[in-house]
């Protein structure tokens, strides 16, 4: 069985580029940008931002997202946990899914060679720096 590094490298070089394979790679990119973890409810918006950056339609199909998350989980790349979290603008908690990369160091190593990841993180960092300097 191949390790995390090899799985990510294979995903990046996959020539088929189906809707599902694109979603899997984009999920890994977004999770890595956010230090290896995200709530599923926040993942939609973060994926939409990445797709917008790439100049692609930023419509996230819930069925494809769920299939991609399930596939990444079964491959051992991510872990998905049912959790409760606090509501932002009202009192109480709600159920969500916490998604974590299992081996962030290896995923980062694989993504070092990914031009999309490099451009996106550079652009995101520049936007944050510009916003802080205003």
Predicted pLDDT at 25: 95
Q: How confident is the model at residue 57 (pLDDT cuts 50, 70, 90)?
A: confident
Which CATH code for domain 4-127?
1.10.10.10
Against a cut of 0.85, is the pTM above it? yes
Q: What is the mean pLDDT of the chain?
A: 91
Residue 15: its pLDDT value, please? 56
Report, in angstroms and rounded to the nearest whole number, the Rg of the chain calculated over CA atoms: 15
Task: Decide: 28 and 11 in contact? Cβ < 8 Å.
Answer: yes
Q: In angstroms, rounded to a whole number, what is the distance separating the alpha carbons of residues 53 and 65?
A: 18
**Given a cut of 80, is residue 134 above it in pLDDT?**
no
CA atoms within 13 A on the CB side of 26: 25
Domain residue extents for the chain: 4-127
Per residue in 58-109, pLDDT (tens digit) is: 789 999 999 999 999 999 999 999 999 988 788 888 999 999 999 999 999 9
């Amino acid at each position: 069985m191949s390790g995390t590094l090899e799985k990510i490298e294979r995903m990046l070089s996959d020539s088929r580029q189906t809707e599902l394979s694109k979603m899997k790679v984009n999920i890994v990119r977004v999770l890595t940008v956010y230090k290896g973890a995200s709530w599923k409810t926040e993942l939609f918006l973060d994926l939409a931002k990445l797709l917008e950056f790439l100049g692609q339609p930023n419509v996230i199909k819930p069925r494809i997202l769920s299939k991609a998350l399930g596939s990444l989980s079964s491959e051992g790349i991510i872990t998905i946990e049912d959790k409760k979290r606090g509501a932002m603008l009202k009192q109480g908690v709600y159920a969500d899914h916490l998604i974590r990369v299992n081996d962030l160091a290896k995923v980062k190593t694989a993504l070092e060679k990914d031009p999309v990841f490099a451009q996106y993180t550079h652009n995101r960092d520049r936007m944050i720096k510009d916003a802080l300097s205003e």
